[in-house]
Amino acid sequence: MRQILLSHGGGGKETQKLIKDLFFKYFSNPILEKMEDSAVLEINSKIAFTTDSFTVYPIFFKGGDIGKLAIAGTVNDLTVMGAKPLYLSCSFIIEEGFPIEYLEKILTSMSKEMEKSQVKIVTGDTKIVPKGFADGIFINTTGIGKVIYEGISAQNLEEGDCIVISGTVGDHGACIMAQREGMEMDSNIESDCESLWDMVEKVINSGVKIKAMRDPTRGGLSAVLNEWALSSNVEIEVEEDKIPVKPEVQGLCELLGFEPYTLANEGKIVFCVDKKDVEKLLTVLKNHQKGKDATFIGKVISKGKPVVILKSPYGTRRVMEFPSGELLPRIC
């Protein structure tokens, strides 16, 4: 099997060959192919700008791989700021000896994922490190998006506002956990890893007023709601039995003692909207394939005390805590 060698990162002939034969094959576009020291972009509007590094292990998992995640993750970070994703940078850190076949598989899925939201990689870099200095492959992507919807903020929550989640929680975290080394578990849990711009664009175009919007990645639903409660100084009450969870994800959580709402998602969005917009939001989401399991899960019930409460169907209440401690190393 052909492998990545240190010479591929030396800046000479081998580097050029790797770029032209492999990266251009999957990422080709006029800006990238100019091969200048930086990409020159023209955007006549407010822009959103974000960066994220991806170190997930295993690099290939059910429902995706590190490449798909590197695109979807950054696209979604732009998306939740109301920005249409336009351009990405992409840096690879690859360990010597990494199979080129794997790299090609990763590039293929990156290219496919970019098509979904019409985003382009316009600049990039590759570093090869000696064996043992990295674990296979790490990817960083940085993204620029054009802000088409302004005013989204974690500080916007007010009494009476409603919380909606676009689908089942914990799929990505549970998928990675089940496939981790040592678990040897036969599991059909698929990651929900997915770019969500097309779904959110529909919500924006529908006229629903989005007060806050977040993709609940590491820390899951619980981290997002706790951050909102803190930023807006409000109490959020969530009805525990309304949080959508796939039975197989719940099963894994039972086995390992986790709560699905602290596990990572890579293809979900939490919305906060005014009460009058809830029905419309749910209709738009449910009409979209990625939002078919969208559910209204809770409300902002008072001001002045930043806390998230889980309410049981039999009337007891408890705190939905901020996740902490070592849960899942390197899940994204």
Partner 1 sequence: MSKVDFLKDFRDSKRIKAISEIIYKEADRSINIMEICGGHTHTIMKYGLSQILPPFINFIHGPGCPVCVMPKERIDHAISLVQDEKNILVVLGDMIRVPGSESSLAKERAKGKNVKVIYSPFDAIKIAKENPQKNVIYFAIGFETTTPMTASLVNFTIKDQIKNLFFHVNHVLVPPPIRAIMDSKEAKIDAFIGPSHVSVITGAKIYDDIVKSYGTPVVVSGFEPVDVMESILRIVRQFKERRREVEIQYTRAVNFEGNVKAQQLIDKYFTTRENFRWRGIGDIPYSGLKLKEEFSYLDAEIVFRDILPSKQVDDHKLCICGDILKGIAKPYDCKVFAKACTPENPLGACMVSSEGACAAYYKYGKLELTL
Residues of the shown chain interacting with partner 1 in the complex, contacts defined by CB under 8 A: 182-183, 241, 250, 254, 257, 305, 307, 309, 312-319, 321, 324-326
DSSP string across 184-249? -------------HHHHHHHHHTT--EEEEE---TTHHHHHHHHHHHHHTEEEEEEGGGS---HHH
* Residue number with CB closer to partner 1 (44 or 316): 316
Q: How far is the CB of 298 from partner 1 (least distance, A)?
A: 15
Tell me if residue 324 falls in helix, strand or coil.
coil
Read off the amino acid at residue 226.
Answer: N
* Residue number with CB closer to partner 1 (68 or 246): 246
Backbone angles phi, psi at 19, to 5 degrees: -65, -50
* Residue number with CB closer to partner 1 (104 or 321): 321
Q: How far is the CB of 137 from partner 1 (least distance, A)?
A: 23
Query: Which among 235, 221, 234 is positioned nearest to 297, based on CA atoms?
Result: 221
* Residue number with CB closer to partner 1 (30 or 257): 257
Q: How far is the CB of 311 from partner 1 (least distance, A)?
A: 9
Phi-psi sector, 251: left (phi>0), alpha (psi -120 to 50), beta: alpha
Q: How far is the CB of 254 from partner 1 (least distance, A)?
A: 7
Query: Which among 87, 83, 126 is positioned nearest to 106, based on CA atoms?
Result: 126
Q: How far is the CB of 312 from partner 1 (least distance, A)?
A: 7
Backbone angles phi, psi at 222, to 5 degrees: -60, -40
* Residue number with CB closer to partner 1 (229 or 285): 229
% helix, strand, coil for the chain, step of 5? 35, 25, 40
* Residue number with CB closer to partner 1 (259 or 277): 259
Q: How far is the CB of 325 from partner 1 (least distance, A)?
A: 6
